A = this chain, B = another copy of it.
Amino acid sequence: MNGTNDHATRHPLLRRIDSIALFELSSEERAALETLPMQVARIEAAQDIVREGDRPSRSFTLLSGIASTYKTTQSGKRQVMSYHVPGDVPDLQSLHLQTLDISIAAISPCRVGFVQHEAMRTLFRAHPRLGELFWRVTLIDAAFVREWMLNTGRRNAYARMAHLFCELVTRLGAVGLAPELSCDWPMTQPELADALGITPVHVSRTIRDLKAAGLVSLRSRRLTVHDWEGLVTAAEFDPTYLHVRR
């Protein structure tokens, strides 16, 4: 859609928007987006960026690093709903839901760009198509969660793990962060356990099995897929729900 694929130099908010837009943005729309005031911050690994119960007056886009959305039960059990890659706007929902029902944590050290809700509302009133586009972003994020739920409800640990690998390699690939089917993998096994709805012990066993099957390798925080077709088959992975244009 935009001639080059220079994810690094493009404006952060355009990374994802460009990849999901169904029409060509006008130069006015593009300019309006690019001049949104954005406050950049760094978040250390394992720190919460926002917390359940917060009432934010701004949302953020992830500039670099990997983050996770999670909820906890009253008894302290934790479930990761989805992971976020650069370009995502993980708490965009707070634009229209005052109280956050989820927490978002930095998995690796992250850079984030905060944008005031008021600025976004003003932008969307002036450019309705942009508002619809960001609405679309929240709908796609919701589709990720639904697919993830099908995963945890109806597939075993082996297929779930394979599916998570497929999804993240695809999404990181879409923003240029998984060349050669290989990417940084900052999640620890206890964190993966919270995403998959199993225990850390069983995560270890499952990864052992995926390695033994020759599908992936995972060492020193780096994931490499050796057999993409095999992984896709094990996961029953169908990327349609990601709404990524090829």
What residues of chain A have their CB less than 8 Å away from a CB belonging to chain B?
A: 22, 71-75, 77-79, 81, 93, 96-99, 101-102, 124-125, 128, 131-132, 135-136, 138-143, 145-150, 152-155, 197, 236, 238, 240-241, 243
Q: In the complex, what's the smallest C-beta–C-beta distance from A198 to chain B, in angstroms?
A: 9
**Cβ–Cβ < 8 Å partners of A72 in chain B:** 150
List 16 A-B residue pairs with CB atoms under 8 Å apart, sorted by A's residue number. Answer: A71-B147, A71-B150, A74-B238, A79-B149, A79-B153, A81-B146, A96-B136, A97-B139, A97-B243, A99-B240, A101-B146, A101-B147, A101-B241, A138-B142, A152-B153, A154-B197
Find the B residue at minimum CB distance from A237: B74
**Cβ–Cβ < 8 Å partners of A97 in chain B:** 136, 139-140, 143, 243
Q: Are A93 and B142 in contact (CB under 8 A)?
A: yes
* Contacts A101-B147, A138-B142, A142-B145 known; 17 new A-B pairs at CB < 8 A: A22-B98, A71-B146, A71-B147, A71-B150, A77-B155, A79-B149, A81-B146, A93-B139, A96-B135, A101-B143, A124-B128, A125-B128, A128-B128, A135-B135, A138-B138, A142-B142, A149-B149
Copies of this chain per assembly = 2
Find the B residue at minimum CB distance from A77: B154
Whole-angstrom CA separation of A6 from B102 in the bound complex = 34
Whole-angstrom CA separation of A99 from B143 in the bound complex = 11
Indicate which residue in B74, B81, B102, B135 contacts A138 across the interface (CB closer than 8 Å).
B135
Find the B residue at minimum CB distance from A69: B146
Q: In the complex, what's the smallest C-beta–C-beta distance from A187 to chain B, in angstroms?
A: 16
Q: Are B73 and A150 in contact (CB under 8 A)?
A: yes
Q: Are B150 and A96 in contact (CB under 8 A)?
A: no
Whole-angstrom CA separation of A124 from B128 in the bound complex = 9
Whole-angstrom CA separation of A73 from B149 in the bound complex = 11
Q: In the complex, what's the smallest C-beta–C-beta distance from A20 to chain B, in angstroms?
A: 10
Which A-B residue pairs are the 4 nearest by beta carbons?
A153-B197, A142-B142, A77-B154, A96-B136
**Cβ–Cβ < 8 Å partners of A141 in chain B:** 142
**Cβ–Cβ < 8 Å partners of A149 in chain B:** 79, 81, 145, 148-149, 152
